[in-house]
Structure 1
Amino acid sequence: MIPRPPAVPPGPSPRVPPPGADMHSRRRMQRFASVALYTGLVLLALWVVRDFIPAVAWACVIATSLWPLFRKLERQPGLNGRTTIIATLLTIVIALLLVLPVGIGIAQAAAEAHDLAIWLHSVEQNGVPIPDFIANLPFGSEPVTHWWNTNLGQPLKASPAMKGLHGHEVVMFGRNFGIRAVHALMVFAFTLVTLFVIFQAGPSLSGAVLKGMRRAFGAESAQLAERMAAAVRGTVSGLVVVGIGEGVLLGIAYAVTGVPHATLLGLITAIAAMLPFCAPIVFCGAGLWLFLQGGTAGAIGLVVFGFAVVFIAEHFVRPVLIGNSTRLPFLLVLFGILGGAETFGLLGVFIGPALMTILMVLWTDFVR
């Protein structure tokens, strides 16, 4: 008789994973690896083109601010479908608007170069003569006169104030200035090229960007992008347009009061007025020059008129243009402009309000 094998006591049966569990885990790992790979490739690409990011950012800011004008020109009968012609025209206009002020400044400097060379030669041989108004100061006239005669009243080569300007330091300063000028010129050139490409791509580029944002971040991301674009356009209108207006008005005031080089000084004022509360530095300096030349009434009138223009622009016109387009409180607009300028430089003046718009949208969605 064949013996039977001993009975195996019943126990828990081993768990068999579902057929699709392993495939699901593998797909999740593949998705994670793909995200990591794409992120690494994007970061690597950004690192490769890091020197050109400012040019691309400037081109995006300019294109965003001029996009309504581009679409309006595109709908014109003679320009319908001719995006290359429109892109060329807009790029040339932007180039001229940026090059003309620099050209005027160089022309003014070249016109004054001869007189400046004569003055420098006289200063080198005889020193800087003390102004007459120092003797009429209500207090501090004697120490100021003593310091002036010791440091500036004698020939330039023997002046103690000029001993720190060694030849090597002057050469290094000139070299660094030249490097920065060449870098700024390259950024400007690549900005124009990028701007032309953005305009030439036209609606297809904007549609692709919005489609990609909807796919990556949802349908609400397109609305957020539109509000950011409105913030950039409002900032450009509030800063650039208002700054140009201030420069024109104060340029006329410079010409009326007899300040030399009124056109160049008006351009400098317009550039300074694009940053909040910077225009008074220019027209107060012009008023001080008028006062030292004996034009007390003209100096007072110029300073009062300048502060009136700046007050109206800063407290009424600019907040309305920026705040209405972005629906931001004035305090957030001010923080965005000043904080952006401190963090990103001049480019941050336009990026800051856009970031404040994102913050405002996220806060609004959170408290709903």
Structure 2
Amino acid sequence: MSPDSADLPAPPRHPSLVGRGPRAARVAVALGLVLLGLWTLHGFLPALAWAVILAIAMWPLYRRVRRRIPVHGHGILLPALFATAIALLFLLPLGLLAIQAAREAGALLHWAAEAERNGLPLPEWLATLPFFGAQATAWWQENLADPGGAKEVLARLNNAELIDAGRQLGANLAHRAVLFGFTILTLFFLFRDGEALVAQALRASARLLGPAGERVARQMVASVHGTVDGLVLVGLAEGLLLGIAYAVAGVPHPTLLGAVTALAAMIPFAAPLVFGIAALVQVAQGAVTAGAAVFGFGLLVVFVADHVFRPALIGGATRLPFLLVLLGILGGVETWGLLGLFLGPAIMAALALLWQEWTSEQPT
């Protein structure tokens, strides 16, 4: 460097470059911390997501009750009551199902013991099956009607394999119980601090997405409400109607089967599998007319629910075509499991609103 170069003025700095490096570093650090936090909590993310969905679904009722009941002290009584009520809403039906399953397990063991001693009698309807009725009858006579053959078939259920399956089931149930407890605990804090969290979420969405951010957040919340009404409430109504139909038709254990139908009806196209099995049970018992009536009534209930009530409830809340709602539900279930029932439509609603904002003639 020559001596004269020290007297030269420094080159001008472009205004757009000032602060770009520090800002990019802050964004990178923030993004890294977010990813690190998600990775740390990835085992509990489903529990957190379920807590948020339940809080959104119950928030209007919670606010209504909170307006009528004054808050004293730290305001933990009402959130605790709501969280406990929601926990019981899940635990009581599961407990009844577990009791019924234990009773059925005893009957199944008795049936297996009788089969080993006397064999299984050939059902009358088996020979009437088209195409393969003769082959099915011959197989049954050879393997199940004779006590020795039935004992051999039942002996193929390896006790060691059953014990291992029981251990895995127990570990899975323990893990689910921990996640459920964490969901209820998170739900308590969401109820207690809900108003502050809602305000923070709206500010964050506005900063991330601009003027449309708050509308996107509200649209996603409306989508969750519509999905809860369209899937959960309609599914429960389907289960109730079909449970009554099971009882009238003489299907075994109509209450338990109605509860299973209600759970299946919350997933599109899953309910026909349950009432189809119920119809087959009736046909197997010789009640062909009752089985056909159960199946036909089930198809009618599902058709009305899927083409009248669900489009009105979900599409009306999200202002989405039912095709997008259906794609969101099915794609969400495939990607996220049961969480996708609610996350899928919410994501579709947010994307549809953003698309409307980006393609509108006059920007808002």
Is contact 1:342-1:348 (8 Å) kept? yes
1:72 aligned partner: 64
**Number of aligned residue pairs:** 354
Matched AA of 2:35 = L
2:331 aligned partner: 339
Structure 2 residue 71 is the aligned partner of structure 1 residue 48: no
Structure 2 residue 165 is the aligned partner of structure 1 residue 173: yes
1:216-254 Cα shifts (integer Å, max 9, x gaps): 332321110000010111011100000000111111111
What is the TM-score normalised by the length of structure 1? 0.89
Structure 2 residue 290 is the aligned partner of structure 1 residue 298: yes
Residue 116 of structure 1, CA deviation: 2.2
Residue 51 of structure 1 aligns to a residue whose secondary structure is coil
Matched AA of 2:94 = V
Please identify the structure whose Cα radius of gyration is greater: 1
* Closer, same or farther: CA 204–287 of 1 in aligned 2, 3 Å: same
Distance of 1:73 and 1:81 partners within structure 2: 17
Distance of 1:41 and 1:24 partners within structure 2: 27
> Any residues of structure 2 matched to 1:1-368 within 5 Å, and which?
14=8, 16-18=10-12, 21=13, 27-78=19-70, 83-154=75-146, 155=148, 156-159=150-153, 163=156, 165-368=157-360
1:166-197 Cα shifts (integer Å, max 9, x gaps): 44433333332222222211111111111111
1:6 aligned partner: none
Is contact 1:83-1:199 (8 Å) kept? no
1:291-310 Cα shifts (integer Å, max 9, x gaps): 22222332222222211111
Matched AA of 1:146 = A
Distance of 2:31 and 2:84 partners within structure 1: 37
**How many percent identity over aligned positions?**
45
Distance of 1:152 and 1:80 partners within structure 2: 68
Residue 106 of structure 1 aligns to a residue whose secondary structure is helix
* Closer, same or farther: CA 325–313 of 1 in aligned 2, 3 Å: same
Distance of 1:176 and 1:361 partners within structure 2: 44
Is contact 1:56-1:191 (8 Å) kept? yes
* Closer, same or farther: CA 51–359 of 1 in aligned 2, 3 Å: same
* Closer, same or farther: CA 148–265 of 1 in aligned 2, 3 Å: same
Distance of 1:256 and 1:275 partners within structure 2: 25
Q: Which moved more, 1:353-362 or 1:79-88?
A: 79-88
Structure 2, unaligned runs of 5 or more? none
Distance of 2:163 and 2:45 partners within structure 1: 30
Is contact 2:125-2:286 (8 Å) kept? no
* Closer, same or farther: CA 79–316 of 1 in aligned 2, 3 Å: farther
Residue 320 of structure 2 aligns to a residue whose secondary structure is coil
Residue 366 of structure 1, CA deviation: 2.7
Structure 1, unaligned runs of 5 or more? 1-10
Is contact 2:120-2:144 (8 Å) kept? yes
Residue 77 of structure 1, CA deviation: 4.6
Distance of 1:307 and 1:223 partners within structure 2: 38
Q: Which moved more, 1:122-131 or 1:263-272?
A: 122-131
Distance of 2:35 and 2:164 partners within structure 1: 35
Is contact 1:230-1:326 (8 Å) kept? yes
* Closer, same or farther: CA 16–67 of 1 in aligned 2, 3 Å: same
Distance of 1:96 and 1:87 partners within structure 2: 14
* Closer, same or farther: CA 79–243 of 1 in aligned 2, 3 Å: farther
* Closer, same or farther: CA 363–219 of 1 in aligned 2, 3 Å: closer
* Closer, same or farther: CA 139–211 of 1 in aligned 2, 3 Å: closer
Is contact 1:134-1:145 (8 Å) kept? yes
